[in-house]
């Protein structure tokens, strides 16, 4: 008896089917007098709606990119941009958002956790390690696509190529989805 009460409390009253000799069995909860739902009600947006995923339009390819001037280099048409730089002592890679001058993610051989495992902080192996760590951080942050424009005269160096290869092996794609135009 106690089990039935707990089941009723959990699920409420279960509708039963009525059996009649004249009509076929039909559940009590069914009724043909309910009006059809209005399609316009489904399209209405709550005025208090808060977008909990601000990158949703970006991932769908619907967000507008700031184009900037055609003569500027590097181009301004991106959602996330990767900047890779090498100095005499250190290697640094940073991911910038289009809306912020401050890097969203960064990795450098200045970090002690990375520096202690490397024989040198500016060699090809250091560039590869920075690429692997930054790819892992980007995956954790949910950034899998970004734009990378290397300076043309440094693009062919072994260090830059090992950095790019490590990022690609980490699952990062160096292009963003094309923008989809809706309407008009």
CATH number of the domain enclosing 100: 3.30.420.80
Kind of pairing, strands 80-86 and 91-97? Answer: antiparallel
Q: Are 109 and 132 in contact (CB under 8 A)?
A: no
Structural domain harbouring 165: 65-169
Whether residue 121 is contained in a domain is answered as yes
* pLDDT per residue as tens digits for the range 81-92: 999 999 999 999
**Residue 147 is assigned to a structural domain of this protein:** yes
Note the pLDDT tens digit of each residue in 97-131.
877 788 999 999 999 999 999 999 999 999 999 99
Average pLDDT over residues 49-60: 66
Cβ contacts of 155 within 8 Å, gap of 6 or more: none
In a domain, 5, yes or no: no
**Residue at 40 is within a domain:** no
The answer to whether 126 and 104 have CB atoms below 8 angstroms apart is: no
The verdict on residue 184 lying in a domain is no
Per the listing, tokens 């072994």 go with 158
The tally of domains found in the chain comes to 1
Q: Give the least confident one: 6-10, 70-74, 111-115.
A: 6-10
Structural domain contains residue 86:
yes
Q: Which residues of 33-64 are buried (b: 16+ CB within 10 A; e: fewer)?
A: eeeeeeeeeeeeeeeeeeeeeeeeebeeeebe
Q: Largest Cα–Cα distance in the chain?
A: 94
């Amino acid at each position: 008896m106690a089990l039935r009460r707990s089941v009723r409390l959990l699920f409420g009253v279960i509708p039963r089917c009525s059996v009649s000799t004249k009509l076929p069995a039909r559940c009590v909860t069914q009724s043909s007098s309910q009006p059809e739902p209005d399609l316009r009600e489904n399209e209405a947006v709550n005025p208090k709606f808060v977008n909990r995923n601000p990158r949703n339009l970006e991932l769908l390819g619907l967000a507008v990119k700031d184009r900037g001037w055609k003569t500027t280099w590097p181009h301004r048409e991106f959602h996330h941009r990767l900047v890779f730089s090498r100095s005499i002592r250190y290697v640094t890679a940073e991911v910038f958002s289009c809306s912020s001058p401050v890097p969203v993610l960064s990795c450098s051989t200045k970090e002690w956790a990375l520096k202690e495992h490397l024989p040198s902080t500016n060699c090809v192996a250091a560039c590869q390690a920075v690429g692997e760590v930054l790819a892992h951080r980007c995956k954790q942050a949910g950034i899998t696509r970004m734009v990378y424009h290397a300076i043309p005269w440094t693009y062919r160096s072994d260090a830059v190529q090992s950095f790019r290869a490590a990022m690609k092996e980490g699952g990062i794609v160096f292009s963003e989805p094309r923008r989809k135009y809706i309407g008009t």
